[in-house]
Chains A and B, each alone.
Chain A
Amino acid sequence: QKEVEQDPGPLSVPEGAIVSLNCTYSNSAFQYFMWYRQYSRKGPELLMYTYSSGNKEDGRFTAQVDKSSKYISLFIRDSQPSDSATYLCAIISGNTGKLIFGQGTTLQVKP
């Protein structure tokens, strides 16, 4: 079993839709949770970062962590074509400090 599981998609939605991206993880020692966005032929860039259960909002983006279920989500409201990218969840192990990525979900927002 992979330490971090993420459905690779692809996911295609119309402009303006609410997008839900999800990951599950296996190790309860994981402490820090992040979402990265990667545009085609570019390196990943940090989108959001949290370390506690609950919601964190930043503009149209909301990151949600449920440590009891080992489940993390990213919601995108009013999705735009410019949101088309691959979204990777990433988790840091509190024990090792290693950053472990999910497979990434490819999102396409159609105008």
Chain B
Amino acid sequence: DAGVIQSPRHEVTEMGQEVTLRCKPISGHNSLFWYRQTMMRGLELLIYFNNNVPIDDSGMPEDRFSAKMPNASFSTLKIQPSEPRDSAVYFCASTPQGSGNTIYFGEGSWLTVV
């Protein structure tokens, strides 16, 4: 099992640029989560999807953030325009159950906005 696959693993971009993070969940999992992790705020849930449908996006910080899940095997998190305070590790996670009690994380996308 390949696990949750995220890309890119590392991204350094200039303020104002668009950033797109990608995630491939574990095959057969029907829930997908995007988290952001910083030293100050820890792990924060940004948005989660169930069967490709966004269920709760209350954690998305601003309109600059958007997420899509066009099919069961792919999701994107986009930041446009990016700002230095968006620098963080962004994790994608998936679970076979909607309650998320057995959630599997990817290795993260390390974003630095300069």
Cβ distance A85 to chain B, nearest Cβ, rounded Å: 14
Q: A99–B98 contact, CB under 8 A?
A: no
In the complex, which residues of chain A have a beta carbon less than 8 angstroms from the beta carbon of B33? 99
Partner of A43, one of B42, B98, B108: B108
In the complex, which residues of chain A have a beta carbon less than 8 angstroms from the beta carbon of B14? none
Q: A99–B105 contact, CB under 8 A?
A: no
Q: B103–A99 contact, CB under 8 A?
A: yes
Cβ distance B109 to chain A, nearest Cβ, rounded Å: 10
Q: A97–B99 contact, CB under 8 A?
A: yes
Q: A34–B101 contact, CB under 8 A?
A: yes
What is the predominant secondary structure among interface residues of chain B facing chain A? strand
A100: Cβ under 8 A from any B Cβ: yes
The B34-54 residues at the A interface (CB cut-off 8 A) are 35, 42-45, 48
Q: How large is the interface on B (under 10, 10 to 19, 20 to 34, 35 or more residues)?
A: 20 to 34
In the complex, which residues of chain A have a beta carbon less than 8 angstroms from the beta carbon of B44? 101
Cβ distance B51 to chain A, nearest Cβ, rounded Å: 13
Cβ distance B6 to chain A, nearest Cβ, rounded Å: 9
In the complex, which residues of chain B have a beta carbon less than 8 angstroms from the beta carbon of A100? 45
In the complex, which residues of chain A have a beta carbon less than 8 angstroms from the beta carbon of B98? 97
A53: Cβ under 8 A from any B Cβ: no
Q: How far is the CA of A96 from the CA of B98 in the complex (A)?
A: 10
Q: How far is the CA of A99 from the CA of B99 in the complex (A)?
A: 8
Q: B56–A32 contact, CB under 8 A?
A: no
Partner of B42, one of A32, A92, A99, A102: A102
In the complex, which residues of chain B have a beta carbon less than 8 angstroms from the beta carbon of A101? 35, 42-44
The A41-78 residues at the B interface (CB cut-off 8 A) are 41-46, 49
Tell me the A residues contacting B by CB distance below 8 Å.
32, 34, 41-46, 49, 88, 92, 96-104
Q: List 9 A-B contacts (CB under 8 A).
A: A32-B99, A34-B101, A43-B108, A88-B42, A97-B98, A97-B100, A98-B45, A99-B33, A99-B100
Which 9 residue pairs spanning A and B have beta carbons closest together? A43-B105, A101-B43, A103-B42, A99-B100, A97-B99, A43-B107, A44-B105, A32-B101, A43-B108
